[in-house]
A and B are shown apart, each in its own frame.
Chain A
Amino acid sequence: EIVLTQSPGTLSLSPGERATLSCWASQTISNNYLAWYQQKPGQAPRLLIHGASSRATGIPDRFSGSGSGTDFTLTITRLEPEDFAVYYCLQYERSPRTFGQGTKVEIK
């Protein structure tokens, strides 16, 4: 199975700052079948990005995804108060689907 490793584990930033989250895959994801999710405490996850760089329906444009192969990035250009949450990457290149362990974006 494809193992996804996210870094950093925790990112401490202030509102208005830029957040850069990384996701590395143990094998090449050749079709860019990589998605990003946001999860807030007590809530179900929300899909942000699919296909490595396509925003899901209704997702604000401050969220962007990039990368290819084994290295992928989620960027939040200007953090809003509601963006402080845990973020997960998910690969759908192969079965079984696998998630990264998550990156927590916390208020500094």
Chain B
Amino acid sequence: EVQLVESGGGLVQPGRSLRLSCAASGFTFDDYAMHWVRQAPGKGLEWVSGISRSSSAIAYADFVKGRFTISRDYTKNSLYLQMNSLRIEDTALYYCARDYFPSGPYYYIPDKWGQGTLVVVSS
């Protein structure tokens, strides 16, 4: 069974940093691209970032570009999101998601999702 478990969320002041982690199990991590998607309280879904199987293709939403960095560790079957210069508007539930298409060279669409980790940016 595919399992994605996010961690690392919490309360942080504006301008500070936070690192989210996502532990993956139940599938061959190397075979799938991965995504981060967020959802502010009571709001819609926002795609944040995606990373291909080999980490050669990476992209970010404009609203996090230059502040957030996605990465993955194949030895630990884990996905990460380093978030710097956090803003109040970054407050959201952050989901880690596995891509739908195995073995593709790119990142495509989120399919299997974790339950999310809540990030609250407030002074």
Binding site for B on A (CB under 8 A): 1, 33, 35, 37, 39, 44-45, 47, 50, 56, 86, 88, 90, 92, 95-102
Contact = CB atoms under 8 A, between A and B. Distances in A.
Given A44-B95, A88-B44, A97-B61, 15 more contacts: A35-B109, A44-B113, A44-B114, A45-B37, A45-B110, A50-B100, A88-B45, A96-B59, A96-B60, A96-B61, A96-B62, A98-B61, A99-B46, A100-B44, A101-B44
What are the nearest 5 A-B pairs in CB distance?
A44-B113, A95-B59, A97-B47, A99-B45, A96-B61
A66 B28 CA distance: 32
30 contacts: A1-B62, A33-B108, A39-B45, A44-B95, A44-B115, A44-B116, A45-B37, A45-B45, A45-B95, A45-B110, A47-B100, A47-B109, A47-B111, A50-B100, A56-B111, A86-B44, A88-B44, A90-B110, A92-B109, A95-B50, A96-B47, A96-B62, A97-B35, A97-B47, A97-B50, A97-B59, A99-B45, A99-B46, A101-B44, A102-B44
Q: How large is the interface on B (under 10, 10 to 19, 20 to 34, 35 or more residues)?
A: 20 to 34
A45 B50 contact: no
A37 B45 contact: yes
Contacts of B111: 47, 56
Contacts of A96: 47, 59-62
A79 to B, nearest CB: 21
B113 A90 contact: no
A35 B111 CA distance: 10
A99 B109 contact: no
B50 A47 contact: no
Given A88-B45, A90-B47, A99-B46, A47 B62 contact: no
Interface in B43-84: 44-47, 50, 59-62
Nearest to B95: A44
Contacts of A100: 44
Nearest to A96: B61
